[in-house]
Structure 1
Amino acid sequence: MNKNLIDWPTFIGALVLLLAVSVPLAVFPEAGKAVVNVANDFMTGNFGVLYLIFGLAAFAFLIYVGFSKNGHIKLGDKNEEREFGTFSWAAMLFSAGIGSSILYWAMIEWASYYQGPPFDLQGESNAAIQWAASYGIFHWGPIAWAIYTLPALPIAYFYYVRKKPVLKISEAVRPVLGKLVDSPLGNIVDILFMFGLMGGAGTTLALGTPMIAQGVHDITGLPVTMTMKAVIMLLCTVIFAISAYSGLRRGIKMLSDVNLWLAVFLLAFTFVLGPTLFISETTFTSLGRILNNFFKMATWLEPFAGIEGFRSTRFPEAWTVFYWAWWVVYAPFVGLFVARISRGRTIQEMAFGTIVYGTLGSILFFGIMGNFGLHLQLTGSFDVVGFMNENGAPAAIIAIINQLPLAGFMVVVFTVLAIIFLATTFDSSSFILSSVVQKEVQSEPLRWNRLFWAFTLCLMPLVLMFIGDLQTLQTASIVAGFPVLFIMVLLAWSFMKASSEDLRASKEYEPPTIHINRREIMQHVKNREKRRSAMESADQDTDDSDR
């Protein structure tokens, strides 16, 4: 065990912060929950406009970078092949970025919009139905994936182009912060990122575990108890611990491939044997509605709420602002992971590929699974909304799957897929957490380090599940992740500063793919420093002669 590789201030700091938040919540759950919810309401109510501005800015920035010279820079050596094929690469980035949360929300999110639609519309009206089929795709679409991709730019650039074997958020902002990165400020940046990721992982468990438990109940008849949920969580932990221990190529890649094939089977089965025409037309119409109203949806707040004569729905704060805050908390993690698996690709391929493949996957899930449930509701085949309001969302999700042909078999497929989705998110998370607390990552983090964070990711959510307060941890992580919003701006600035300087200094590049010669760049920097020293010496000699 090579302890010298571990960045102990970051390692210990992240654990201390997690315990400092989780222990008081466990000891004083009601008071802690009240404080966190007040902080969340204050943040989303007063700073929601910042998140919406940032979402649009991140999307525009990625488009600009993709078409600029910076986007043609290759991540790696001149003749280096892509480390992963497109199928496996897309599978890993989608599984890491979405996880089992998409199984949960794609199935049931429309029901919330159907009952509480945006734009002050009447619930369960024809207009509400149209927006219910569209808003989920928007929330999980291009802006979300642009937020995810932004941190990948500087991280991948420093790791593969400047050849710095460090996978840290703090290292990626060095061109802007300079030597401050080596001070406690650098540790704080990394610790905040790690805390946000661990809290976000708790959110995924909060959504995934009850849904899996309902699937197990449907298959076996066993009652859904806290013990069952704990066993499911530990089983998922063992799966992703084995996967993380096996490494990126054998464990995470293989699990992601299996995950994607199962997802394709579920989607194809539902599309072909479900209401195919309804799903096709509704999804296509929803895409048109989103394109036609993209900026309206991306900028809608309720500035007149509270003024006499204006009703407040709190839809933007409860959904769009909350989602953007959630993506920001998760973004450094997804960015780190996407950066790590993108060797051999150009910046443009990494940026556009992540946005396109991520958005396409979300469209398929929301378009097929969501519209299948909506069709059941509208035709009267099954009252999804009534069942959900009475029994909860996890039970409603399994009830929707039970409306498919070969219901028993499909519930098994869905449950296994949910377990693997959860595992792929967590093994990616443990891989990245262990990378952040190492001073160097030549190939993969130390195995004991990966295993430690695999089980740490499960430990605190497991404790909080027993007191029924996982949602509070989720909200706390998003509140604590507010500073990450400003770190994201530094990351974008850092990438442009570093890559533009290297492009200006490099003579060896030919579009469409630019390979930056690091030796040439370093020689250029040395020559520039020599010229600067010579000028300073000449100025000193002039001053001496004047005196």
Structure 2
Amino acid sequence: MKTRLIDWPTFIISFVVILGVVIPLIIFPEAGSELVGQLNDFVSHRFGFLYLLMGLAIFFFLIFVAFSQNGQVKLGEEEEPPEFSTPAWAGMLFSAGIGSSILYWGTIEWAFYYQGPPFGIDPTESQLETIQWASTYGIFHWGPIAWAIYALPAVPMSYFFYVRKKPIIKISETLRPLLKGYADTMIGKIIDVLFIFGLLGGAGTTLALGTPLISRGISDLTGFPDDMLLRTIVLLVVTVIFAISAYVGLKEGIKRLSNLNLGLSIVLLIIVLVTGPTLFILETTTNSIGLILDNFFHMSTWTEPFAMVQGIEETGFPEAWTVFYWAWWLVYAPFVGLFIARISRGRTIRQVIIGSMVYGSIGCLLFFGIMGNFGLFLQLSGEYDVVNMLNEQGAPAAVIAIINQLPFSSVMVAIFVFLSVVFLATTFDSSSYILASVTQKRLEGDEPLRWNRMFWAFTICLLPLTLMYLGGLETLQTASIVGGFPLIFIMFLIAWSFMKTSTRDLIIDEQYEPKTIILDMKNIREKLKRRRKKKPNDEE
């Protein structure tokens, strides 16, 4: 084992912090859950506006960078082609950033908005408005701002790794121009530990969403009871798949799994679009795009500021959904950014920014537009009462019930379950790969050590498995979001560090352009020739 490559302080502190949060939740689950819930309410209500402003600021900052001189910088050598083809690259970044959550929320999120619409709309009095926003808000929450939050860390990390030739990609390294020597002290370690803690909490919640969905689908196909035993088996099988993929490596494991993921997703979406209410799906999705374009700023900044003053009961919609999602993307951003950086060799910064935001948003639009609007059609047409199923048996049961309304229902549920497994495995092989990278001093051959990848693969699994039996997964999710609050300010520092460094490098490059160097070399040769003519017998 090449243990000398491990950044042991970051490795040990991360593991201790995780245990320091999980063990009290195991011993005192109710008290821990209550405390974390209070902290979450305090952060989301007192500082919710910060999350919203952060989302907008990141979005416009990246648009500026993409079309500035900084966006033209190549990540790698000037003549170097992209390491991965565009479809493979888009598939990997989409799979890593979304996971099985897109199958879960893309199919059922509309039903929550249908019952509790935004902007204080009364669903019993304004049904048309309710329906329109129900089909729209999910696309907004999983759209360009979400992918901009993901892309922000990717830009400086890839710049420092491929252009500045740093031996490792981690948050503290991107802040070195600002932190100077402090990047190697406890300050840098704490920044990296915050990232790891947030990622493990986010990973645990994604497993918590994906595992019941998969087990419910297996139960529907086989008749086995959807109990804790089945969910444990599902979680362990998924862990083995993504551990093997992470062990094999980026090109052989993660790339192939992502390609399979992308192909299955396209097949599923085409089947639902063709066999479902095609015209309704296309028209409703188009209408939703128009609503977002018309109300983008309103949706991005709505905070219910007057409800308390006027004595009107707050709906809690911004905190429960938009603030929550922006906080959630923020917690995941360093991980997804690291992964996007790792797979973007040979591309320009502009391609990384625009590609992440466009490909990611289009992928989510297709899932919400096709899967979500199919479920909404079932509800509106009276073919199936999805909302009642959701309220009585929960979201996983409602999702599988929607899939069961398709032709060849058993085949479709089987495809859906298999795709959920692949999505989940793709996300977590990427997670374990990046966690291993962050806890090393440098990468050897651009890959983290295999045993380190395996360690984090099983760590990601064991914590959610333990908390799943104790019912504490939601608490871990909330704790990770509260713990990720400092990332708002770290994101600002990341953007500042990148602009400072890349702009300075561009100025230096302009002063010493290749043309100038060539002209200088010509002048030197001419001088040498003149000297030889004057002293023909002199040695060179």
Q: Same fold (TM over 0.5)?
A: yes
Q: Which runs of 4+ in 1 moved over 4 A?
A: none
SS of 1:192's partner is helix
Number of residue pairs aligned between Structure 1 and Structure 2: 513
Q: 1:471 aligns with which of 474, 477, 485?
A: 474
- Report whether the alignment pairs 1:51 with 2:51: yes
Q: How does 1:52-451 map to 2 (within 5 A)?
A: 52-123=52-123, 125-442=127-444, 443-451=446-454
Counterpart secondary structure, 1:107: helix
Distance 1:305 1:419 in 2: 43
Q: d(CA) in 2 for partners of 1:306 and 1:20?
A: 37
Q: Deviations over 1:367-404 (max 9, x none)?
A: 00000000000000000001110110000000000000
Cα distance in 2, alignment partners of residues 263 and 313 from structure 1: 35
- Work out the CA distance in 2 between the residues paired with 1:39 and 1:311: 21
Measure the CA separation in 2 of the matches of 1:259 and 1:215: 18
Give the superposition deviation at 1:131: 0.2
The one-letter code matched in structure 1 to 2:254 is I
Residue by residue over 1:493-519, the C-alpha shift from the partner in whole angstroms, topping out at 9 and shown as x without a partner, is 111011000000003899xxx99x9xx
After TM superposition, the structure 1 = structure 2 runs for residues 491-502 of structure 1, keeping only pairs within 5 Å, are 491-502=494-505
Alignment match, 1:40: 40
| One-letter amino acid of the structure 1 residue matched with residue 29 of structure 2 | P
* Cα distance in 2 for residues equivalent to 1:34 and 1:279: 41
1:4-23 matched pairs, under 5 angstroms: 4-23=4-23
Shift of 1:178: 1.1
2:199 maps to amino acid:
L
Summarize the Cα distance change of 1:508–1:207 in structure 2 as closer, same or farther, 3 Å threshold. farther
Deviations 1:412-467 (A, max 9, x none): 00000000000000000000000000000141000000000000000111000001
> What residue ranges of structure 2 are gaps of 5+ in the alignment?
518-540
TM-score normalised by length of structure 1: 0.93
* CA–CA distance in structure 2, aligned partners of residues 359 and 308 of structure 1: 37
Instruction: Provide Cα deviations, 1:185-225, integer angstroms capped at 9, x if missing partner.
Output: 00000000000000000110111000001000011100011
Find the aligned partners of 1:503 and 1:494 in 2 and give their Cα distance: 14
Q: Considering only aligned residues, what root-mean-square deviation do their CA atoms show, in Å? A: 1.3
SS at match of 1:313: coil
How far off its partner does 1:102 sit? Answer: 0.7
Q: Which residue of 2 aligns with 1:530?
A: none
Distance 2:380 2:155 in 1: 44
Corresponding position of 2:491: 488
| Corresponding position of 2:530 | none
Instruction: Describe the superposition over 1:261-319 as per-residue Cα deviations: whole angstroms up to 9, x where unpaired.
Output: 00000000000110000000000000000000000000000112322442310000000
CA distance in 2, matches of 1:397, 1:225: 17
Report the residue type matching 1:235 in the other structure: V
- String of CA shifts for 1:319-364, please: whole Å, max 9, x gaps: 0000000000000000000000000000000000000000000000
**Aligned-partner residue type, residue 429 of structure 1:** S
Please point out which of 485, 506, 509 is paired with 1:506: 509
Task: Work out the percentage of aligned pairs sharing the same amino acid.
Answer: 63
SS at match of 2:83: coil
Provide the rounded CA distance (Å) in 2 between the counterparts of 1:292 and 1:153. Answer: 29
Residue 457 of structure 2 corresponds to: 454
CA distance in 1, matches of 2:6, 2:189: 13
Q: Deviation of residue 123 (structure 1)?
A: 2.0
2:471 aligned partner, one-letter code = G
Q: Which residue of 1 aligns with 2:538?
A: none
Question: What SS is found at the alignment partner of 2:47?
Answer: helix
Q: State the distance in 2 between where 1:59 and 1:422 align.
A: 27
**Structure 1: how far apart are the matches of 2:174 and 2:307?**
40
Once residues 346 and 319 of structure 2 are traced to their aligned partners in structure 1, the CA distance between those partners, rounded to angstroms, is: 40
